């Protein structure tokens, strides 16, 4: 008897979530309201038998597509979640953002997401942060570990990562540093949607064609996130579309294309 591959993926992620919960006294999960971190939230409920035994962090750039916030607040109520909202008020007040202010796209991402996350981690003393990144999204994420250390300045030292073998993860770390935990690392975009379909999971409707012949494939801030041409109106439609697509998932994310190493530089500084 053997399990289908979606169950195998789920088993691995559940194992990782339980390891993280057992090892980090002060643990939180990043929730962007997008498909990946919502699947992650669902997997946490699988791992902990319906409970989510740690807070969720939502980094609010204030530029998010508005219906994302309504959707977030509804699930928080319905699923009885603890939510921490992080925001970089100083930069927002100074107006140093893209496109209205003087910031480039990358500088804006760095200030509104990375710095805001840094603030939340410092304030709450989190030592473990669960993040829904996947290897297939982007080439520097393809080099990530399941348990990935960040130093006191939140930087990722990509040239000196810890060994990781046989599901023995890096759980020892120096004071002031933290570990990013990546339970979805081995999933693909197609897996995520097939799993949403199998589980009949709720998902934010921005991913569907709203009648304009366009949909979001990846969710981010309104000024930097484009839609793709698509008539997919259901989860099954999206699954069918992804089985034949030849474009990459983050093609609609403009900040990645500012320079050849733009995304690597963002991630080295602590971006998700």
Partner 1 sequence: MATGSPSRLARRAVTSSAGPSGERLRLVVVGHVDHGKSTLIGRLLHDTGSLPDGKYEQLAAAAARRGVPFEFANLTDALQAERDQNATIDTAHVGFRTARRECVLIDAPGHREFLKNMVTGAAAADAAIVIVDAQEGVREQSRRHGTLLKLLGIEQVAVAVNKLDLVEYAQAAFERIAGDYTAFLAGLGITPRAVVPISARFGDNIAARSARTPWYAGGTIVDLIDAFTVPRPAVDRPLRLPLQAVYRFDHRRILAGRLESGTLRVGDRLLFLPSGKQSTVKTIEQWHAPARRSAVAGDAVGLTLVDQLFLGRGEVASRLDDAPSTTSRFTARLFWLGRQPFRTGRSYRFKLATQEFDGEAVAITAVTDAATLEGPAAPGDGGLSASEVGEITVRTRRPVVLDPYDRVPHLGRFVVVDGLDVCGGGIVLDADEAGALMPATSANLTRPVGYVSCERRQARHGHRGAVVWFTGLSGAGKSTLAAALERELFARGWEACVLDGDNVRVGLSADLGFTAADRAENLRRVAEVARLFAEQGLIAITAFISPSRTDRLRARQILGREGLDVPFAEVYLSTPLAACEARDPKRLYARARAGEIGEFTGISAPFEPPDHADLVIDTSAVGLEEAVAQLVEYLAPRLAVS
- 3-state helix, strand, coil split of the chain in percent (to 5) is 45, 10, 45
Residue 247 interacts with partner 1 (CB under 8 A): yes or no: yes
The residues in 62-101 that bind partner 1, with binding defined as CB under 8 A, are: none
Q: Binder to partner 1 among 5, 82, 102, 123 (CB under 8 A)?
A: 5
Collapsing DSSP states into helix, strand and coil, what is residue 17?
helix
Does 155 bind partner 1 (CB under 8 A)? Our answer is no
The residue written with tokens 């975009």 in the block is 189
The answer to the question of residue 229 lying near partner 1 (CB under 8 A) is no
Of residues 101 through 130, those in contact with partner 1 by CB under 8 A are none
Does residue 143 interact with partner 1 by CB under 8 A? yes
Give me the least distance between CB of 161 and partner 1, in Å please: 6
| Contact in structure between 26 and 41 (CB atoms under 8 Å) | no
Binding test (CB under 8 A) with partner 1, winner from 8, 94, 153, 222:
8
Peptide bond into 99 cis (omega under 30): yes
Number of amino acids touching partner 1 (CB under 8 A): 59
- Structure-token pair, residue 192: 């995520």
Distance between CA atoms of residues 230 and 165, nearest Å: 40
Q: How far is CA 168 from the centre of its chain?
A: 23
Shortest distance (Å) from residue 262 CB to partner 1 = 11
User: Which residues, 162 to 191, sit near partner 1 by CB under 8 A?
Assistant: 162-166, 168, 170, 172-174, 186, 188, 190-191
Site residues (CB under 8 A) for partner 1, limited to 37-56:
42, 45-51, 53
Which residues lie closer than 8 Å to 211 by C-beta, 6 or more apart? none
Which DSSP string corresponds to 149-218?
A: EE-TT----TTSPPP-BTTB------TT-EEEE-TTTT--HHHHHHHHHHHT----GGGS--SSSEE-SS
Name the one range near partner 1 by CB under 8 A: 5-13, 98-106, 203-211, 214-222. Answer: 5-13
Residues engaged in binding partner 1 (CB under 8 A):
1-3, 5, 7-8, 10-11, 14-15, 18-19, 21-22, 42, 45-51, 53, 135-136, 139-140, 142-143, 145, 158-159, 161-166, 168, 170, 172-174, 186, 188, 190-191, 194, 199, 239, 243-244, 246-248, 251, 260-261, 264
């Amino acid at each position: 008897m053997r399990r289908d591959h979606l169950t195998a993926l789920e088993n691995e992620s559940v194992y990782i979530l339980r390891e993280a919960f057992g090892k980090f006294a002060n643990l939180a999960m990043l929730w962007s309201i997008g498909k990946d971190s919502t699947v992650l939230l669902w997997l946490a409920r699988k791992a902990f038998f319906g409970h989510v035994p740690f807070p969720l962090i939502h980094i609010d750039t204030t530029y998010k597509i508005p219906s994302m916030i309504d959707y977030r607040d509804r699930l928080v109520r319905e699923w009885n979640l603890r939510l921490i909202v992080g925001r970089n008020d100083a930069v927002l007040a100074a107006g140093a953002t893209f496109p209205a202010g003087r910031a480039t796209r990358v500088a804006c991402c760095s200030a509104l997401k990375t710095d805001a996350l840094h603030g939340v981690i410092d304030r709450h003393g989190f030592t473990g942060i669960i993040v829904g990144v996947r290897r297939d999204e982007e080439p520097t994420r393809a080099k990530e570990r399941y348990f990935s250390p960040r130093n006191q300045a939140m930087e990722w030292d990509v040239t000196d990562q810890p060994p990781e073998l046989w599901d023995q993860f890096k759980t020892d770390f120096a004071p002031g540093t933290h570990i990013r935990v990546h339970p979805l690392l081995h999933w693909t975009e197609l897996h995520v949607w097939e799993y949403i379909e199998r589980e009949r999971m709720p998902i934010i409707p921005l991913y569907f064609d709203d009648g304009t012949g366009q949909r979001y494939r990846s969710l981010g801030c309104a000024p930097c996130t484009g839609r793709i041409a698509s008539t997919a109106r259901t989860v099954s439609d999206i699954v069918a579309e992804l089985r034949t697509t030849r474009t990459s998932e983050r093609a609609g994310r403009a900040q990645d294309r500012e320079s050849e190493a733009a995304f690597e530089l963002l991630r080295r500084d602590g971006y998700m």
